[in-house]
Amino acid sequence: MYPQVGPYDHGMLDVGDGHSVYWMACGNPDGKPALYVHGGPGSGCGARSPGQFDPAVYRVVSFDQRNCGRSTPHASEPVIDLSTNTTDHLIRDMEQLREHLGIDKWLLFGVSWGSVLSLTYALRHPGRVSEMIVTAVATGRHCEVEWLIRGFGGLAPEAYERFLAGVPDPGEDISAAYHRLLMDPDPAVHRKAAENWCAWEDAIATVPPGRDVEHEPWEPRFQLAFARLVTHYFSNRCWLADDQLARNGHVLQGIPGVIVHGQLDLGALTGKPWVLHHAWQGSELVIVEHGTHAAGTAEAVMAATDRFAKAPVHSS
């Protein structure tokens, strides 16, 4: 990994609807522009540049998506309205940030949910994307959400039984049921729901699924915001048409891109890396042996960023 450097510039961008989005720029101010699009929804972008980019040659921009990280208002607040946090809003925020920073085109690096957001942005603003790298891939298909909240159950039955026990009626949409509990004003109710949801997130992130892994406890404020945002998006199927890539994949054809997939990323059993690769003509699919959803793919991503660093960015 390259050195993860702190920002040389940062700020809060007023994007409307009462939201201010935190952004930062790291690396070389005169370098090739790249945008890191974090996962979750709600994970936040962290305090330093992604280590997959050479800070000597890239101007790496990162931002906290609405209601998470350092952006305000925060989704953990006792009374929070998430109605102005949708995929369309986030795409507009990205475009407003690009204009604010005076960037003509940028490379997009999307991780997990960030890959959905990057792909959607590229479909709507292809002329603003020089290249794209996606890893821990998601494409926004409805079956991918269903797999995460139901399909995984057969791979981690004990953890799944505990997950289902957290909602009154496990026969309904689980993400919607959890979201209602997470938005309950009673702290005892929404904190317990956040713990249950994030315990399931832990269970499906392990190989094999459900294996107990020691890690730092979830920070309560982050945990609540993360669970609220994920269930907000999942219960609305990310406000995306189920077949948007199949219908519009031709738009990506002129954008050089690399899809990095961990061989042991069990969230990809719906076939999403291959669906994306076939829809996005000219893309490169890299399968990383022993890579998972969260680890093992950095070297392959760095190979792509190093290669793209040498490609000129042509103004539109």
Q: Give alpha helix (H) positions in the chain.
A: 87-101, 113-124, 142-149, 157-165, 174-182, 187-205, 220-235, 244-248, 272-279, 298-309
Q: How long is the chain?
A: 316
Residues 6+ apart with CB under 8 A from 293: 112, 136, 205, 262, 265, 266, 267, 268
71, 265, 277, 283: the catalytic one is: 265
Nearest CA-CA partner of 137 in 163, 117, 157, 107: 117
62, 112, 175, 235: the catalytic one is: 112
For 4, the token pair is 């993860």
Cα distance between residue 120 and residue 126, in whole Å: 10
Cα distance between residue 268 and residue 116, in whole Å: 14
Cα distance between residue 28 and residue 265, in whole Å: 33
Q: Is 112 tagged catalytic? A: yes
Q: Is 265 tagged catalytic? A: yes
Whether the CB-CB separation of 69 and 93 falls below 8 Å is answered with: no
Cα distance between residue 88 and residue 211, in whole Å: 36
Distances in Å between the Cα of 232 and the Cα atoms of 8, 65, 287 are 33, 14, 31
Strand 7-16, strand 32-37: pairing: unpaired
Q: Is 115 tagged catalytic? A: no
For 207, the token pair is 């190989």
For 151, the token pair is 């399909």
Catalytic residues, by residue number, are 112, 265, 293
